[in-house]
Structure 1
């Protein structure tokens, strides 16, 4: 799933991002980076080169970002993909004060960015997730209303959102697309249901934005902005579970079985 958007060459070591101390740099790279706390992407934008599930990893210098002194590395790692993705989605959504926004998969790692940032701009946030624990978490993030999308007729409770942030896909994404207000925006970036949203009927009155590949320079700037948001306390990502690197399979099982909140990390 997703191979049409993210290239992958076998064999590979999984993991697209890491956080830690720089141990060494290559030729022509500033030696002042050695010993610095950083987060780093192990591949370029639009690729999945892997390499993160390891005690040591190699990253392109352009994908290495120093972490502010007062920010924990575990929290900083949330900027690397989730923060940059959330900020990119917010720019494309153009949500304005007074708008209603629906966030699906609201208790996931992107929800911890989208909900507080939307609420801070005066947008009414409706968070949709599965189960009481995740709904309470979405409320803590700042959601104005929460809805359990495992219940029949859940979409009827939402109203007509001006913008939808769809991190779920599948039948839930299709239901969210169907209730999007005329003139609204539907941003489909997730597929926790097993597949991205494919509407039963395309609507001319809704702007649909799917997976997009940002310019690498833009992506790096979004990552830096996300680090600033974390450093200033605007967003406080939840690290729901951590696992030793050797238990990576257990971490994937927990995510697949939807037993996690926020971000799941592997620790060495």
Structure 2
């Protein structure tokens, strides 16, 4: 079978298509015939060598934390490792996954769309619970048209809050409005945070300068949920009047239940995640380059 492996830490060019032996399941595992592999922003960071204090990866290794496909003819999505780990192995025509991390896809939900529930949907639902939202609050979402923002914006809009979507460029701002954002702001423009004023809750996927600017306009008594570090660093808080909720680690059973709930959201038609890139497995390097250039909308998939 074909896999895409990281030959050494570096840019997208270090991704190499490689012929590997057919996958074989061990005890407590199953083999998924992969139809789509998700590409996370985290994948691009790990490929470059970021996060070695958290993820002990040594080249050569195969990226990919989630796949969609079939197990003995049944359509499924599956995580390639346990909760809180990064096993990789998803960028492949076949993936060995823990049987406990396999979830049937509901009828009527396309296989590629279902894959968005695995990490993005589950994380969005978890963050919504942590946000403790009440109607009438002003809520800011950074990276609002990314794969996670595609869940957060419409789900937040249904809560009665005023959703402010921060993204980069005209196309992304247009998409944010389509997702249900009430206000949009381009955070590539100087002074963007001052344009929108104080907000009650921030969902921050970016960190860095953008995260710090969002933190600065969080109202006294507000909540700041820092769950992403697209800039390379999480936003750290030093204010006593803002409740900062950093990245958290749910229990495995809780995470699995969140994934099932996310699949149910898709089955009910409450939202449809954007699949911005769906490219052949052999185009993994180009997919990574597009993500790092911030030119993609929504979810990126590799199709073996």
Q: TM-score range by the shorter chain?
A: over 0.9
The answer to whether the aligner puts 1:180 opposite 2:218 as a matched pair is yes
Structure-1 residue corresponding to 2:293: 257
CA–CA separation in structure 1 for the residues paired with 2:290 and 2:234: 21
Match of 1:147, SS state, is strand
CA–CA separation in structure 2 for the residues paired with 1:78 and 1:192: 18
What TM-score, normalized by structure 2, do the two folds share?
0.82
Checking the alignment, whether the CA contact within 8 Å between 1:8 and 1:49 is kept in structure 2 is: no
Q: How does 1:8-87 map to 2 (within 5 A)?
A: 8-10=56-58, 11-22=60-71, 34-87=72-125
The answer to whether the aligner puts 1:134 opposite 2:182 as a matched pair is no
State how many pairs are aligned. Answer: 254
Q: Which of residues 155, 162, 172 is equivalent to 1:117? A: 155
Q: Which of residues 146, 164, 168 is equivalent to 1:108? A: 146
Higher strand share: 2
Match of 2:232, SS state, is coil
Structure 2 unaligned blocks of 5 or more: 1-49
Q: Which of residues 196, 200, 217 is equivalent to 1:158? A: 196
Structure-2 residue corresponding to 1:241: 277
CA–CA separation in structure 2 for the residues paired with 1:188 and 1:195: 10
What TM-score, normalized by structure 1, do the two folds share?
0.92
The answer to whether the aligner puts 1:167 opposite 2:205 as a matched pair is yes
Worse-superposed segment, 189-198 or 77-86: 189-198
Q: How does 1:221-240 map to 2 (within 5 A)?
A: 221-240=257-276
Structure-2 residue corresponding to 1:27: none
Match of 1:86, SS state, is helix
Structure 1 unaligned blocks of 5 or more: 23-33
Deviation for aligned residue 1:112: 0.6
Checking the alignment, whether the CA contact within 8 Å between 1:169 and 1:191 is kept in structure 2 is: yes
**Which has the higher relative contact order, 1 or 2, with Cα contacts under 8 A spaced 6 or more apart?**
2
Deviation for aligned residue 1:3: 4.3
Structure-2 residue corresponding to 1:7: 55
RMSD: 1.1
